Amino acid sequence: MLLVTGVNGGLGALVLERLAGREGVVAGSRTPQRVPAGVPARLVDFDRPRTLAEAFTGVRTLLLISAGAAEDDVVIARHGAAIGAAERAGVDHVVYTSLSGDGDHLPYALAHRWTERRLRASATLRWTVLRNGLYAEFLGAIAAPGPDGVISAPLGDGRLAAVARADLAEAAVNVALAPAGHAGRTYELVGERAVGGAEVAEALGAAYRPGRLTDARAAVAASDARDFQVPMVVGTYSAIAHGFLAGPGGPGDLAALLGRAPRPALEVIAEGR
């Protein structure tokens, strides 16, 4: 049995779509009533670890989609609870969606690296780590033109090896359906061609006049973002602007797992406008 967590999130929903109709697939969610009709679902709430023993019963492969969007201590507690429950339930293999290695400079990298270390230390679990790059959809959101048609995101001359979320979902499915061949592997799943603010502007028919990190911080803080999200967004801008997320500049693990070239980030951004 394959259990997928976080199926009501953006990545999890795409994974579940690609597994539709397959026998032995179970959706895990804090709100199982929202899982699409006809899909077996179980209550999986990492903030209520007691739900996990029953949820993981009979599971051979666990596709653990990162339970982020929180402070480090909360995310680490969630992932620790999930991995501990998987060990006690006799789960054979955990496939974990992590963060790309070049993301170590990002404010939200720590919880991912802790989770990878926890999996490697397990005495019973086999594991595969999918180090996902930042989504092209995310870049489109943080570099969206303002009402005046100008992109003012403080990306400077930096570039991001952004990747289509749907490609990451497909790669995760391919690994989770045949995990044995990927045991003990860590894959770097980033885009093959990095793009910058000027290219995003051209794709959207906008102008690009990058602003300052100070101004971006003030704008994010004035939005409906939660306090911990402010340094996350600003740190991401800074990492892109200063050249830490440009990727390898060619084919990598993502193309190998997909069996084809990944979708171009600019195409994804233009479609999502």
Average pLDDT over residues 185-211: 97
- Residue 10 falls inside a structural domain: yes
Residue 201 in domain: no
CA angle 74, 77, 78 (to 5 degrees): 85
Has residue 232 been placed in a domain?
A: no
Other CB atoms within 10 Å distance of the CB of residue 209: 12
- Residue 224 domain flag: no
Is residue 151 included in any domain, yes or no? no
Q: Determine the straight-line distance between the first and last CA of the chain, rounded to whole angstroms.
A: 38
- Structural domains counted in the chain: 1
Q: What is the mean pLDDT of residues 136-154?
A: 97
Residue 273 is predicted with a pLDDT of: 61
CATH label of the domain that carries residue 16: 3.40.50.720
* Structural domain boundaries, residue 38: 2-133+164-190+248-262
Residues 20-78: pLDDT tens digits? Answer: 989 999 999 999 999 998 899 999 999 999 999 999 999 999 999 999 789 999 999 99
Residue 65 belongs to some domain of the structure: yes
Residue 69: the pLDDT is 83
